[in-house]
Structure 1
Amino acid sequence: MLWPVTVMGALVGGLGGALPGALLGAVVGHALDRYWQLRRWRDLPIRLAELRTGPADFERVLFLCLGRLAKASGRVSQVHLQLARDLMQLYRLDEAACLRAMHDFNQGKTAADLRPLVRALRKREPARAAELLDSCWRMAVVPGQLSDEVRTLLADWAAEAGLAQSEQQRMHQRHQRTQAPPRSRSAVPRQDALRRAASLLKVDLADSPEVIKRAYRRQLSLHHPDKLAARGAGNVEQGNAGERIRQIQEAYELLRRHKGFR
C-alpha cells in the first residue's frame, strides 16, 4: 500500500526542512490519506475532482445528470419528474435519500459542467458508468425528440464514461422502443418477449404487480455491483453487472406496461 499524500508530504517537508521537515510532512500527509481514504495514487485524482465538484457517488451524479437533461430538453415536465421518482423507487432510496435526490435533480438543472463528476464516477465505480448513461438515455427520450444540447451532453458524458458510439445507439434505440406507442403486430413475438421478461425476473405472467415489483427489486439487489463484490464475484461478472441490470430494467418495463401498473 502506497499512501500518496504521505509520500508527497515527506518530499515537500524534506525540501523545506531536511529530516524533521520530511517527518512532519509525512505525518500530516498520512493524516490526510486516512481522512480522504487514499490508498493508491489513482485515488488521488478522484478525490481532487470531488473536492472541486462534491462527492461522486452514483445516486448524486445520476440525479444531477437527470436534472440537467430534463432542463436541456426545453422544459421540465411532469413526465421528467415522474421518471425521476420512478428511479428513486428503483434504487430503493429511503426518505432522506429521496430528498437528497430531489435536491440534486433541481441543482442539476443549472449545473455548468458535470463531466468531472462522470469521470470521477467511472474511476470510482467503473461497472456503474454504463448504468448511469442508460438511465440518462431514459430521461433523454422522454420528450420524443433530442435537442442539440441533449445530444451534446450525452456524447460528452459517454466519452467520460468510456462508452462506445455503438453502445449509445443501442441505449437510444432500446428506450425509444419503450417510449413509443404500441403498434399492431403479431401477438406471438410479444408473448415470447413477455415470457422471456418474466423468466428473467423469476416470476409468472399471472403474478400480481406486487409480486413482480418485489421480484424486480430482488433481482436488482442480487446483481448490484456492490453486492457482487461482497459475494466475491470476479472482475468479469462485476463488469457485466451494468448490462444485466439494463436487461432487468427492460424486462420490468415490458411487464409493467403489459400489466398496466406504475
Structure 2
Amino acid sequence: MLWPGTLIGAGAGYFIASIPGAMLGALLGQTLDRRLQLHSWAHLRERLGGRATLRNDELLFVLLGRLAKSGGRVVEKHIEQARQEMRHLDMSAAAQQRAIAAFNRGKSGRDSLRGYLGRLKTQPHAAEGVLRACWRMMVADGRVDPKERELIVLWGRWLGWTPQQVQALGADYEPQKKPLATRGGTYQQSLTLLGVTASSDPEQIKRAYRRLLSRHHPDKVAGTGASPAQVREATEKTRELHHAYALIREQRGFR
C-alpha cells in the first residue's frame, strides 16, 4: 500500500532531485505516515483539519455512535448498549473515556471510515466482532432503521463481506419478537426475570442485570460452540433483560 505521505514525499523528492530525491522523499514520507498513522488520503485530510486519527479501540465506538445517530436521534437504549459493549470488552476507566469520546465523535458522521475498516479485512475474527457489535446497536431500540441497514451493509463490504453475509449475521440479532407483557403486568415480570424483588436496592438490581447479561450474551454463547438457534435464543434473552431493566429503572426512578 502506498500511503499519502509516501506519495507526497516521493513526488516532491523527484521534483527536487529526480530519482534519488524520489527515493529519499518516499522514505521520509513513509516515516511520517507511520508516525501519524496515515493510512489513506481521508486520514490525511482529517489530520489537516485538526482531527486525530482513530485508535483501534476507538473505531468500534465511532461506528456505534454513527449507527445510533443515523436513525434520527440517540436514545437511552443506544447509550446503554454502548455501555454494555464497554463492559463486554472489560475496558479500563481511561479506555472507557476514549470510547465515550469516540461514540460522540461518531454521531457527527464526519469521519471517513473506509480506510480504517479496510485494514480489518485480513483479521476475519475482528471484522466479525465489529459487525456483531453494530448489529447489537442497531436492534438496541427494538427496530432496524433502513439507514442503519444501509450503513452496516456498506461497512461490511469494506470489511470484505457480501451483503448476504452481513444480513445472515443479522439473523442472530433480529429474532422473531415475542411479546414481553402488557404494560400493566410488566413490572413484576421484570423483577422476576432479573431475580430481584420490589425491595431490592438499585445496586442489587444493577448487579443482577449485569450478571445475567454476562451469562446470556450472544458472543459468549457463540464462543461455546452453540448452534445458531441457541445464539438466537441468547439474543432474545438479552433483549428481554434490556427491556426488563429499563422498565424497573423507570418504575424505581434510578439511573
TM-score bracket for the superposition, by shorter chain length: 0.5 to 0.7
Which residue does the alignment assign to 2:200? none
Structure 1: tracts of 5 or more residues without a match: 184-208, 221-242
Which residue does the alignment assign to 2:31? 34
Total equivalences in the alignment: 202
Give the direction of change, closer, same or farther, for the CA distance of 1:181–1:62 in structure 2 (3 Å limit). Answer: farther
2:8–2:29 Cα contact (<8 Å) kept: no
Give the direction of change, closer, same or farther, for the CA distance of 1:130–1:56 in structure 2 (3 Å limit). Answer: farther
Give per-residue Cα distances to partners, 1:43-69, cap 9 Å, x unaligned. Answer: 97x243432345354332211111111
Q: Structure 1: how far apart are the matches of 2:86 and 2:12? A: 46
Q: CA deviation at 1:97?
A: 1.2
Question: Is 1:16 aligned to 2:13, yes or no?
Answer: no
1:9–1:28 Cα contact (<8 Å) kept: yes
Residue type at the aligned position of 1:13: G
Give the direction of change, closer, same or farther, for the CA distance of 1:37–1:213 in structure 2 (3 Å limit). Answer: same
Q: Of residues 115, 128, 131 in structure 2, which corresponds to 1:130?
A: 128
Structure 2: tracts of 5 or more residues without a match: 47-51, 182-209, 246-255
Which residue does the alignment assign to 1:66? 64
Give the direction of change, closer, same or farther, for the CA distance of 1:137–1:3 in structure 2 (3 Å limit). Answer: closer
Residue type at the aligned position of 1:52: R
Percent identity of equivalent pairs: 26
Q: Structure 2: how far apart are the matches of 1:92 and 1:66? A: 17
2:5–2:32 Cα contact (<8 Å) kept: no
Q: Of residues 43, 67, 71 in structure 2, which corresponds to 1:50?
A: 43
1:70–1:139 Cα contact (<8 Å) kept: yes
Q: Structure 1: how far apart are the matches of 2:116 and 2:64? A: 12
Give the direction of change, closer, same or farther, for the CA distance of 1:112–1:88 in structure 2 (3 Å limit). Answer: same
Matches within 5 A, 1:167-186: 167-177=165-175
Matches within 5 A, 1:196-235: none
TM-score (norm: length of structure 2): 0.59
Which residue does the alignment assign to 2:155? 157
2:68–2:138 Cα contact (<8 Å) kept: yes
Q: CA deviation at 1:213?
A: 5.5
